[in-house]
C-alpha cells in the first residue's frame, strides 16, 4: 500500500529531452528548481503541481534519472512524455499514443498503471484529442522504416527508447505510471541520418552514428521535413499538457 506521503507527492513528468519537456509544460507556470533531482523544476497548471524532469535519451540514462527521482520521495505519480516513431500505416506527426505498456519486441510488455491509463484516455477524449491505445516498443537506437513495420505487425502502436525502462522502474517502486507519446516520424518516413548522428554526438552512441554527420549537406530536404514534423509533434504535446496533468490529479 502506498504511504500517505507518497499519495500526497507531486506528479512527476519525465521527458527524454528539454525540448520535449518544455513543449508539454508550455502552458504551465515555471517555479523553482528541485535540488534533490538534478535538472528538475517545479511547474504549476493552475492548482496542479508538477515536477518536470529531463530523463535523458536511452534506457540507461532514463532509468538512472528515475532512480534519483524516486529516491527524492517527491513523486507520487509518473507520466512519461515525448515523441515516438510511428509503427502503423495512416499515422501522421502529432498523433497521440497512449502507452498501456512498453517493452522490447520479444518480451511481454511491462504494463502501465490501469487507473492512470483510464484517466488519461477519458481526459483526452473529452478534450477532443483521443489517443491510440496500445503497447509501445522499446529499442536501443532510432528505429527505421523496416523495423517500425515489424514492430507494428507485432502489435506495437509506436516505438521509443525510454518508456519501458521508466515504466519498469515505476512499477518496482509501486508508483502509478503511464506513457504518453506523440508520433514524430511516421512509418514511411525515417529520421534523417545526419539528425540522428547529431543527437548521438550530444549524448548517444557515437559510432557508427556519428558518421552520419557527413550526410548533412545532401539531406537538406529531409531535414526541413523533419523540423516541420518536430514542430507538429511538440505542438501536440503542448496542447495536452494541462488537460492530462489535471486529469491525473483528479484520478488520485
Q: Angle at Cα 244 formed by Cα 37 and Cα 229, nearest 5°? A: 85
| Confidence bin at 238 (pLDDT 50/70/90) | very high
> 175 near 112, Cβ under 8 Å?
no
Q: Name beta bridge partners: 40.
A: 34
Q: Which domain holds residue 109?
A: 4-251
Q: How many domains does the chain have?
A: 1
Would the CA dihedral through 123, 153, 80, 143 be positive or negative? negative
Share of the chain above pLDDT 90, in %: 74
Distance CA 56, CA 148 (A): 22
Q: Does 210 score more than 70 pLDDT? A: no
What is the pLDDT averaged over residues 96-112?
A: 95
* The pLDDT value given to residue 84: 96
Q: Does 208 score more than 60 pLDDT? A: no
* 55-75 confidence digits (pLDDT tens): 998 899 999 999 999 999 999
> 48 near 249, Cβ under 8 Å?
yes
Q: Does 118 score more than 90 pLDDT? A: yes
Q: Does 207 score more than 50 pLDDT? A: no
The predicted model scores a pTM of 0.88
| Confidence bin at 206 (pLDDT 50/70/90) | very low
Distance CA 185, CA 156 (A): 15
> 79 near 248, Cβ under 8 Å?
yes
Q: Angle at Cα 173 formed by Cα 136 and Cα 63, nearest 5°? A: 55
* The pLDDT value given to residue 9: 82
Q: Does 53 score more than 90 pLDDT? A: yes
CATH of the domain at 103: 3.40.50.1580
The phi-psi region of residue 144 (left if phi > 0; otherwise alpha if psi is between -120 and 50; otherwise beta) is beta
| Confidence bin at 209 (pLDDT 50/70/90) | very low
* The pLDDT value given to residue 227: 87
* The pLDDT value given to residue 211: 46
In angstroms and rounded to an integer, the radius of gyration of the C-alpha atoms of the chain is 17
More confident residue, 102 or 213: 102
Q: Name beta bridge partners: 30.
A: 43
* 15-38 confidence digits (pLDDT tens): 999 999 999 999 999 999 998 888
> 215 near 186, Cβ under 8 Å?
no
Q: Name beta bridge partners: 14.
A: 53, 80
* 36-47 confidence digits (pLDDT tens): 888 799 999 998
Q: Does 214 score more than 90 pLDDT? A: no
Amino acid at each position: 500500500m502506498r504511504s500517505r506521503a507518497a499519495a500526497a507527492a507531486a506528479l512527476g513528468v519525465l521527458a527524454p529531452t528539454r525540448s520535449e519537456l518544455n513543449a508539454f509544460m508550455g502552458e504551465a507556470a515555471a517555479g523553482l528548481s528541485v535540488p534533490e533531482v538534478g535538472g528538475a523544476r517545479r511547474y504549476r497548471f493552475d492548482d496542479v503541481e508538477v515536477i518536470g524532469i529531463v530523463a535523458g535519451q536511452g534506457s540507461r540514462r532514463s532509468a538512472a534519472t528515475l532512480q534519483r527521482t524516486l529516491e527524492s520521495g517527491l513523486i507520487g505519480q509518473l507520466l512519461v512524455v515525448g515523441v515516438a516513431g510511428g509503427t502503423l500505416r495512416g499515422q501522421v506527426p502529432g498523433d497521440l499514443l497512449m502507452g498501456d505498456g512498453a517493452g522490447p519486441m520479444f518480451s511481454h510488455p511491462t504494463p502501465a498503471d490501469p487507473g492512470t491509463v483510464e484517466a488519461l484516455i477519458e481526459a483526452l477524449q473529452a478534450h477532443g484529442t483521443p489517443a491510440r491505445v496500445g503497447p509501445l516498443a522499446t529499442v536501443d537506437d532510432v528505429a527505421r522504416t523496416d523495423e517500425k513495420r515489424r514492430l507494428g505487425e507485432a502489435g506495437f502502436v509506436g516505438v521509443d527508447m525510454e518508456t519501458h525502462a521508466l515504466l519498469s522502474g515505476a512499477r518496482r517502486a509501486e508508483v502509478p505510471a503511464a506513457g504518453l507519446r506523440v508520433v514524430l516520424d511516421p512509418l514511411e518516413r525515417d529520421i534523417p541520418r545526419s539528425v540522428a548522428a547529431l543527437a548521438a554526438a550530444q549524448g548517444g552512441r557515437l559510432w557508427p552514428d556519428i558518421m552520419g554527420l557527413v550526410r548533412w549537406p545532401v539531406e537538406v530536404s529531409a531535414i526541413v521535413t523533419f523540423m516541420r514534423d518536430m514542430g507538429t509533434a511538440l505542438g501536440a504535446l503542448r496542447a495536452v499538457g494541462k488537460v492530462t496533468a489535471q486529469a491525473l490529479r483528479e484520478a488520485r
